[in-house]
């Protein structure tokens, strides 16, 4: 009898242990730790190394893969994560093209995706992607407001010859038109280009009051340095894609005085106490710089941290309907993410809805400049 009771107890313990294992949450992460977007992806990768071992009260396993800033590699990674690792969600990717490529897999497998780069999904696939960085329209409005306040009437545009550049161009065209500002010249370049001399000559010929460079990380330096070398004296604007130290290091004196919109975290200490992102921003900066050194923060770590905050809020709700590792849980997690409201994060406040999977408002953008080789809040 005692042996039977012991065997029964062991069987129950095994079932409970198995149930516990099944309850663990698995999150796939895809970043550009190498390739042209590495200066963006490395801080993201470093951010995931800081995250706690639980999400929403459950044990979590992060599987971090490098896509080398290549959409085809991003897709291969996403297929591995969904088919082999059975992840409950994908956080990825670093760049707009890779994020868009991953969505195809997320949609097919019905796995929630939290993108760390702005992207414009097709309507049928949009329900499965959530976007943590500010969208281009929000940032374009902030840029154009600054331009209008400084009597800028004409703007030259040079941006990536990919989805990032296209989305920025559309956002700027709309925002500029609303303020009576004309885009007098439009040029494109590749992320890995080593020369933009031809594009610079065309921009110079248009004689714009200011130039907006729609790039990110270190590749965003090239057009500005080239235009300065050829004598351009107007105002330079960049996007929030430049907000990492590598841009400052590579740009040097060529990027002094550049004006750009950015998420609040980058200048958390300079924010007024009333700003909802000041507290979470300071918490993130403290953790990141304790691990990676003083002044090591990059705005690109923020979307990854924000993704974790979103999942931490959504997972307890999803667990009421299903267990991790199942299609039912992934669907419930998608629904829970869509219903996150007033969640303060490092780059603004998330309030998702069925029509808005970004959930950020004007609180997500502040204007900054480069002064003496560092960032400074424009008030």
Tens place of pLDDT per residue across the chain (379 aa): 444 544 444 544 444 444 444 459 999 999 999 998 998 899 999 999 999 999 988 999 999 999 999 999 999 999 999 999 999 999 999 999 999 999 999 999 999 999 999 888 999 999 999 999 988 899 999 999 999 999 999 999 999 999 889 999 999 999 999 999 999 999 999 999 999 999 999 999 999 999 999 999 899 999 999 999 999 999 999 999 898 888 999 999 999 999 999 999 999 999 999 999 999 999 999 999 999 999 898 888 999 999 999 999 999 999 999 999 999 999 999 999 999 999 999 999 999 999 999 999 989 999 999 999 999 999 7
pLDDT of residue 236: 98
Q: How far apart are CA 81 and CA 65, in angstroms?
A: 9
- Give the DSSP per-residue string, 169-233: HHHHHHHHHHTT-EEEEEEEE-TT-S--HHHHHHHHHH--SEEEEE--SGGGHHHHHHHHHTT--
CA 271 to chain centre: 21
Q: Are 346 and 50 in contact (CB under 8 A)?
A: no
Residues 6+ apart with CB under 8 A from 133: 115, 116, 117, 118, 240, 263, 302, 303, 347
Rounded to 5°, the CA angle 69-73-74 comes to 75
Please report the pLDDT score of residue 23 as a whole number. 57
pLDDT at 15: 43
Q: Using DSSP, state whether 367 is helix, strand or coil.
A: strand
CA within 13 Å, CB half, 113: 35
d(CA 354, CA 356): 6
What residue has token string 């396993």? 61
The dihedral sign for the CA sequence 313, 79, 35, 69: negative
Ordered structural domains, the chain, with CATH: 2-134+297-364 (3.40.50.2300), 137-262 (3.40.50.2300)
Give the closest residue to 378 by CA, choosing from 85, 145, 62, 86: 145
CA dist 106 and 115 (Å) reads 11
Angle, alpha carbons 214-38-282 (nearest 5°):
80
Return the SS3 of 85.
coil
Alpha-helical runs (H) found in 58-135: 71-83, 96-109
Is the separation of the CB atoms in 218 and 248 below 8 Å? no
Contact 47, 288 (CB under 8 A): yes
- Per DSSP, the three-state class of 136 is helix
| Kind of pairing between the strands at 154-160 and 129-131 | unpaired
| β pairing state of 366-371 and 259-262 | antiparallel
70 vs 59: CA distance, rounded Å: 31
Which residues 6+ apart lie within 8 Å of 64 measured at CB? 29, 30, 31, 45, 48
Q: Write down the pLDDT at residue 21.
A: 42
């Amino acid at each position: 009898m005692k042996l039977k009771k012991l065997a029964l107890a062991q069987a129950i313990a095994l079932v409970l242990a198995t149930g516990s294992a099944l309850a663990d949450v698995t999150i796939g992460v895809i970043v550009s730790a190498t390739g042209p977007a590495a200066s963006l992806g490395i801080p993201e990768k470093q951010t995931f190394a800081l995250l706690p071992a639980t999400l929403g009260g459950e044990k979590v396993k992060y599987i971090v893969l490098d896509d080398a800033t290549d959409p085809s590699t991003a897709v291969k990674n996403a297929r591995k994560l969904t088919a082999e690792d059975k992840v409950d969600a994908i956080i990825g990717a670093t760049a707009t093209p890779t994020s868009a490529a991953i969505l195809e897999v997320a949609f097919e497998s019905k796995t929630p995706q939290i993108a760390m780069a702005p992207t414009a999904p097709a309507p049928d696939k949009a329900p499965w992607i959530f976007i943590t960085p500010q969208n281009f329209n929000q940032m374009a409005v902030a840029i154009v407001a600054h331009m209008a306040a400084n009597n800028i009437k004409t703007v030259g545009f040079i941006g990536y010859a990919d989805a990032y550049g296209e989305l920025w161009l559309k956002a700027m065209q709309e925002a500029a038109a609303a303020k009576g500002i004309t885009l007098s010249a439009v040029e494109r370049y590749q992320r890995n280009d080593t020369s933009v001399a031809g594009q610079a000559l065309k921009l110079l010929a248009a004689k714009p009051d200011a130039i907006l460079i729609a790039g990110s990380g270190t590749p965003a330096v090239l057009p500005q340095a080239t235009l300065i070398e050829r004598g351009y004296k107007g105002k330079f604007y960049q996007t929030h894609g430049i907000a990492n130290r590598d841009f400052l290091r590579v740009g040097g004196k060529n990027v002094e005085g550049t004006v750009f919109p950015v998420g609040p975290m980058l200048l958390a200490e300079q924010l007024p106490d009333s700003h909802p992102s000041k507290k979470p921003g300071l918490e993130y900066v403290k953790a990141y710089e304790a691990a990676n050194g003083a002044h090591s923060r990059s705005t690109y770590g923020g979307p990854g941290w924000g993704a974790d905050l979103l999942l931490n809020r959504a997972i307890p709700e999803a667990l009421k309907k299903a267990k991790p590792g199942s299609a039912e849980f992934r669907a419930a997690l998608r629904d829970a993410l869509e219903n996150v409201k007033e969640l303060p994060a490092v780059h603004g406040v998330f309030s998702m809805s069925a029509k808005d999977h970004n959930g950020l408002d004007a609180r997500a953008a502040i204007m900054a400049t480069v002064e003496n080789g560092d960032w400074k809040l424009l008030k």
